[in-house]
Amino acid sequence: MPEVLSFSTPEETHEAVAAYLFEGITAFFEYVPDVHIAMTSGPDAAQASLSLIKLLTQQAVTGVVHFWWLDEVFVAHDDAARRDRYIAELVENFRLGTFIECHRAPTPTSDSLTEAQAHWEQSLSGVDFSFAVIDALPDGQLLSPPGVERAIASSEAALHIVADAANIAIVATGTKQAGVIGTVISGNAAHALGQVAALEQTSIWLDDAAAGKPATEN
């Protein structure tokens, strides 16, 4: 059973994940100059990453943190639908490139969809990921949204990449995630998220709503 950590609010959850990542990154930098993080594209991984970037800007680090997205939408880099855009623009606008690097999936201008999928999966498969930060989607899959052309073809491909990461954090906030989190914690490995949760390097980070705790009255 994975380690499960619960916090009162989404903000506290995201900040706790960021602190966990920062502590781990600092430890890795004692031995290697680069730390790679694989991310899914949902809101919890995004908010945890933004909190991490805040910590990275406040405290000096000795290496480079690399962000990679598992399920990027197959559109142009400046398209509002891009999942990596928020961090890539933040890094560029605030000139954080000396210690943060964003690895962006191919676009329709450089590859066909099939070529992009093959290229991106090959690129991701060749990376030694220190961390994977995974959103808990209600359907238990790793990729979102359904029906959209993505730079990775399937949850199966993403699962292999995530499973090879040294540390995995599943992050969930809100009542919509409570159902799938309940099945995952109970040991149900019928879907990709459950299979990730069953790995020994996985921890689960929740707010009270995702943990199924009743709301407290003031």
Report the predicted TM-score, pTM, of the whole model to 2 decimal places: 0.95
Q: Which three-class secondary structure string do you get for 133-189?
A: EEECCCCCCCCCCCCCCECCCCHHHHHHHHHCCCEEEEEECCHHHHHHHHHHHCCCC
**89 Cβ contact list (under 8 Å, min separation 6):** none
Cβ proximity of 41 and 72 under 8 Å: yes
Distance between CA atoms of residues 72 and 32, nearest Å: 27
If one compares 71 and 169, the residue with the highest pLDDT of the two is: 169
Percent of the chain at pLDDT above 90? 72
Question: What pLDDT digit, counting tens, does each position of 71-107 carry?
Answer: 888 999 999 989 899 899 999 999 999 999 999 999 8
Burial category of 199 from C-beta neighbours within 10 Å (exposed 0-12, middle 13-18, buried 19 and up) = middle
Q: What is the pLDDT of residue 218?
A: 43
pLDDT at 214: 78
Report whether pLDDT(180) > 50. Answer: yes
Mean pLDDT of 156-170: 95
Query: Containing H/E element for 205?
Result: strand 202-207
Tell me the pLDDT of the chain averaged across its residues.
92
pLDDT band at 211; cut points 50, 70, 90: very high
On the question of pLDDT at 35 being above 90, the answer is yes
Domain coordinates of the chain in residue numbers?
A: 3-207
Instruction: At 170, list the tokens.
Output: 């599943």
Cβ neighbourhood burial of 171 (10 Å; 0-12, 13-18, 19+): buried
Tokens of 113: 């969809």
Q: What is the CATH number of domain 3-207?
A: 3.40.50.1360
Q: Who wins on pLDDT, 154 or 204?
A: 204
Is 70 exceeded by the pLDDT of residue 177?
yes
